[in-house]
Structure 1
Amino acid sequence: MEKKFKLLDTVAILKEMPQHRVLSGQVGTIVEILSDVDYEVEFSDKNGETIAEFSVSADDLLLLHHSLEYSPK
């Protein structure tokens, strides 16, 4: 199943990216849709300061939910 994300979705990265100082599980925000499978993600600290911003494949992201939004198929 192909993962699709929307602009400003909250996501977590599924693998470490030490070259960007980002750990597995770090929370980020989709800030640009680069293609059907690639997204620009901004990762910030708890004070809102940007840690890193870089392109991430959809396969390396998990969509996070702030509330239950269930829509049956």
Structure 2
Amino acid sequence: MNASINLLDVVALTVNLPEYNLSQGQVGTVVEILASGKAFEVEFSDRQGRTYESVGLRSHQLMVLHFEPASPRMVAV
């Protein structure tokens, strides 16, 4: 699903992984690039930053999430 996945990218699952108790849409962080960029180790953490699962996944199982800050609003003075 995504041709360019990099180390430390924030990604979302595009599939359910019931064997790991992970659901489509869950968010994780790429912590290692495997198999010459054909697979990725993704960590899933709780709100306190504790990892509860670390899984090797293929790119078609992931979607990179992007954040673009909003442009500053013009304020009339």
- Same-fold call, TM cutoff 0.5: yes
Cα distance per residue 1:16-41 (max 9 Å; x no partner): 11111211100000000002220000
Larger radius of gyration: 2
Give, in whole Å, the separation in 1 of the partners of 2:27 and 2:2. 21
Contact 1:5 1:63 in 2 (8 A): yes
C-alpha RMSD over aligned residues: 1.6
Can you give the 5+ residue segments of structure 1 that lack an aligned partner in the other structure?
69-73
> Identity of aligned pairs, percent?
40
Cα shift readout 1:43-67 (whole Å, capped 9, x = no counterpart): 1122212120010000110000121
How has the CA–CA distance of structure 1 residues 14 and 2 changed in structure 2, closer, same or farther, with 3 Å as cutoff? closer
Aligned to 2:57: 56
Q: Which runs of structure 1 show a deviation greater than 6 angstroms over 4 or more consecutive aligned residues?
A: none
TM-score normalised by length of structure 1: 0.82
Measure, in 2, the Cα distance between the counterparts of 1:23 and 1:50.
Answer: 16
Q: Residues 7 and 18 (structure 1 numbering): CA distance in 2 closer, same or farther, change over 3 Å?
A: same
